[in-house]
Structure 1
């Protein structure tokens, strides 16, 4: 029963993350609600896994990844508070909005990438997917299709530009909400399975 709740917990958080990336299409208020859910989930998850954050001996890479992910989450949340128009609208420390926007866009996109790597390394549900008995050629073809669509989506959404502060606060995404969600899912899924193919986790 606990495993079922945990699976629902993780899938809900992933769905919130995917949807929140489409903030211009879902509206600022919904975006802030989803963002708050993600932060609460991540902090809850980190609390119950806090012992793993200190394991630098056998799992140095994962520890660095986890700490960087946690730091990026904090940067995302703090910058979001400054930009909030609803939930934290009462907060005003006089911090420049342009600076907060740049930090927020960079942090959210980095958070997206790090979260997908983190899930690829740790989420056990993927082991069940990998155990499905498909023809090796079919598995390879499906992975290649996902990887190709993920790379296309990465370019089409100008994802990489946010990581280098090359665009302003939200480049206009002309795709429909459904297509945009599919593209973010493709990036997320491609990274997850690429991590496993590269044997970071057996």
Structure 2
């Protein structure tokens, strides 16, 4: 009986490990599409928003152990940083979902809620801060990827150096795009509307936001490395 229980428990754990990366990838894709509101259209934006919320619930269900152990164990600087990011993401996700329902033009119009102006400002604010916090959260997983590259004996030093150069170039381009697209203006509500340049194309727009996401992820990775050194 005990053997059967161990077998079932292990089987469930393997399934979770297989599902988690898929859910994370889908959430990343959904996040990038949500940041492309003007290019994908309002109807698609609302549909992707619902999908994102469902994936968010699935993600937390798969990581329920984090919620259960939130106030347990030793609170190291790295753990505080990780937990703070998750709490901020939760606030942004819930806030942007509620405000998104309020300002809905298609799916939730039957609710007939009239606080559209304030909700629009809140939705934009939480959407961009949520993008930043989620990008920082992704950076916490970069350490595993970097360690895999570092410890791979089959990879030559030249290839490892090439990886570093590519990461540095993407990081630099992400900083450039951050200022080019005035992301700070959205983060602090200086921009009241989504501003797109002439002849904007979705693939290039997504590449820019991927670069910004990668830049914040690298920044979070560097912060976490420093926090690991502190006891």
Shared fold by TM > 0.5?
yes
Which residue of structure 1 lines up, in the alignment, with residue 114 of structure 2? 94
Which residue of structure 2 lines up, in the alignment, with residue 181 of structure 1? 206
> 1:148/1:8 Cα in 2 relative to 1: closer, same or farther (>3 Å)?
same
Task: Write the deviation string for residues 140-185 of structure 1: whole angstroms up to 9, x where unpaired.
Answer: 3212201111011111222111111101131234431111000000
Say whether residues 1:168 and 2:192 are aligned partners. yes
Residue 130 of structure 1 and its aligned partner are, at CA, apart by 3.6
- TM-score normalised to structure 2 length: 0.78
Equivalent pairs, count: 201
> 1:39/1:104 Cα in 2 relative to 1: closer, same or farther (>3 Å)?
same
Matched residues in 2 for 1:196 and 1:124: separation? Answer: 6
Which residue of structure 2 lines up, in the alignment, with residue 71 of structure 1? 91
Q: Which has the higher helix share?
A: 2
Residue 80 of structure 1 and its aligned partner are, at CA, apart by 0.3
- TM-score normalised to structure 1 length: 0.88
Tell whether the 8 Å contact from 2:137 to 2:220 is kept in structure 1 after alignment: no
Residue 125 of structure 1 and its aligned partner are, at CA, apart by 6.5
Say whether residues 1:194 and 2:214 are aligned partners. no
> Runs of 5+ in structure 2 lacking a partner?
1-13
Residue 187 of structure 1 and its aligned partner are, at CA, apart by 0.7
What does residue range 1-202 of structure 1 map to in structure 2 within 5 Å?
2=15, 3-53=17-67, 54-56=69-71, 57-58=74-75, 59-95=79-115, 97-122=116-141, 126-127=145-146, 130-131=149-150, 133=155, 135=158, 136-174=160-198, 175-198=200-223, 199=225
> 1:128/1:40 Cα in 2 relative to 1: closer, same or farther (>3 Å)?
farther
Aligned CA RMSD, in angstroms, stands at 2.3
> Runs of 5+ in structure 1 lacking a partner?
none
> 1:63/1:98 Cα in 2 relative to 1: closer, same or farther (>3 Å)?
same
